[in-house]
Chains A and B, each alone.
Chain A
């Protein structure tokens, strides 16, 4: 399988804290990778390196479609097509829907004057085609702070897909969502696969990760504890394996399955 992204030997320390230790990680073309792990395992840190937000410690290497990337910045990652839907609030709560959709990518002429009509129309189109907003109460001018959790994730994921992302990173997108909102959010993730894109889906709920992921990687205390194709493991097997990791901090060599 060809890879969209490949990270090798990634370590990251924050002062005294070692968040990641020699992690190798890759995402294939049109593959949904589930990233599992306890709180503080280093999941967010790993994806923040991939988005250029953090720099890895020296010795780490990142390849995008086979090309080595030097000094990945947020801007560069976005230009490559890496989009994030963060666990922290990804939206600007006091701003309108259209301002959120076009955050950092406003349509403007060369003098920097905004093309409001085009952004509003595009937002209106996305509301019905991609976000599934049918309520008349929501318009492109609506302030997103009033949206439900599911609607907010819908906005964030739609924003990513709209801008032709190649790789969409979802960091605990279901956190704080109700059951129906979660279902809706998982549908969005499946939609990423359907659109021919790749995704990294982080969640510590296995019941969310297992159905949508092609491959599952388990991080534990900053290191890769296990990885396997979903077809190789059942949900029950996954649960058993995770509790083993939690107990022992890793897997025995014979238990470890690789792709």
Chain B
């Protein structure tokens, strides 16, 4: 073997090493794309009529962002070795902020009310995320417990504030926010999908190209040594929770606009899809490693399963089973891959 390698011109050997290294480095990302393609090919084979038409992709691009907008920033929290279970309620809590502010202006200036309500929504999300971070970091409560608590808390606040009443969102249609958030780009691409891409690029940039991102990785990988080396682990974690809070409020607004109605139960049902996107995407629950690209692709995988099963002519009962199977198999494969690479 050695002699063969030695006989090669150095440049080619180096290049080969480079390709192998890149393949190793991006093994997780490559694997997840292959999983998506395999699942897609399977569904295409089973029901070419459905998967050969634009409709299904339009539907996927419309609804995947509803949870992917949260899964993408949630990846930061999990890389930092924390978890957030409260974002489903923060979606509704943000909209409660919108509700209250909008109602103040409904009679006088509904458009202004929509805009101010949107700002209130994001600020409410920011506050809730910041509170999560402070409880976890300053009080030292494990995030699993802390955010389980705030999940119930914000849901309760929403029910009290809105009196469990919904609110029509039609006034939003009169503002630029509607086309900007849930309109169509070039008449085809749902804007929420464009936002999902924007979220992914911006989050990727912060994670991989800034000091903050470097500190997110270090905080999750080796908290003690990161602290000893002067990384402000607490501030970094608080910031990740805050970002998820804002993103959840934003997602809450997008979802409500998508259906033009604010339900007080908004967000319920998004927990598992969102978490599954992060873990299926190759982010380790042990912290220190993960990728935005993986979360992005995994969100699409999660989204495609349900319509795929229906289109394939099976009953929707199969959904959960296959869904669970894919997650367990993929995450196990990742664990094996990771051990191989170490």
Contacts and interface: CB of A to CB of B under 8 A. Distances in A.
B20 to A, nearest CB: 11
Contact of B230 (A74, A86, A112): A74
B211 A103 contact: no
A105 B210 CA distance: 12
Given A74-B230, A114-B209, A145-B342, A94 B289 contact: yes
Contacts of B214: 99, 102, 106, 114
Contact of A92 (B21, B211, B212, B225): B225
A112 B342 contact: no
Interface in A104-126: 104-106, 108, 111-114, 116
Interface stretch (B61-69, B135-143, B216-224): B216-224
A95 B225 contact: no
B264 interface: no
Interface size band for A: 20 to 34
Contacts of A74: 227-228, 230
Contact of A94 (B227, B228, B288): B288
A89 B288 CA distance: 15
Nearest to B225: A90
A86 B225 contact: yes
A82 to B, nearest CB: 11
B218 A114 contact: no
A93 B21 contact: no
Interface string A163-194: 00000000000000000000000000000000
Contacts of A104: 215, 218, 226, 229-231
Interface string B312-342: 0000000000000000000000000000011
B209 A103 contact: no
A53 B228 contact: yes
Interface in B276-333: 288-289
A184 to B, nearest CB: 21
Contacts, number: 78
A33 B222 CA distance: 28
A101 to B, nearest CB: 11
Contacts of B16: none
B209 A95 contact: no
A84 interface: yes
A95 B221 contact: yes
B228 A92 contact: no
Given A89-B225, A105-B230, A95 B25 contact: no
A148 to B, nearest CB: 13
A244 B332 CA distance: 55
A113 B236 CA distance: 15
A125 to B, nearest CB: 19
Nearest to B222: A92
A88 interface: yes
Interface in A133-177: 136, 139, 141, 143, 145-146
Contact of B210 (A75, A89, A114): A114
Given A104-B218, A143-B342, A91 B210 contact: no
Interface string A78-89: 100000101011
Contacts of B215: 104
A51 interface: yes
Contact of B21 (A88, A106, A141): A141
Interface string A213-241: 00000000000000000000000000000
A85 to B, nearest CB: 10
Contacts of B342: 143, 145-146
A116 B25 CA distance: 17
Given A106-B211, A113-B209, A146-B342, A95 B218 contact: yes
Contacts of B226: 92, 103-104
B209 A116 contact: yes
A111 B215 CA distance: 15
Contacts of A78: 229-230
B200 to A, nearest CB: 18
A89 B221 CA distance: 11
A114 B206 CA distance: 10
Contact of A103 (B25, B231, B289, B341): B231
20 contacts: A74-B230, A84-B228, A86-B228, A90-B228, A91-B225, A92-B222, A93-B288, A94-B288, A95-B288, A99-B217, A103-B218, A104-B218, A104-B229, A108-B211, A113-B210, A114-B209, A114-B211, A114-B214, A143-B341, A143-B342
Interface of B: 17, 21, 25, 209-212, 214-215, 217-218, 221-222, 224-231, 288-289, 341-342
Closest 4 CB pairs of A and B: A104-B229, A92-B221, A104-B230, A94-B288
Given A92-B225, A104-B226, 14 more contacts: A74-B227, A75-B230, A84-B228, A90-B225, A92-B222, A94-B288, A95-B218, A99-B214, A103-B226, A105-B230, A108-B210, A114-B211, A114-B214, A136-B17
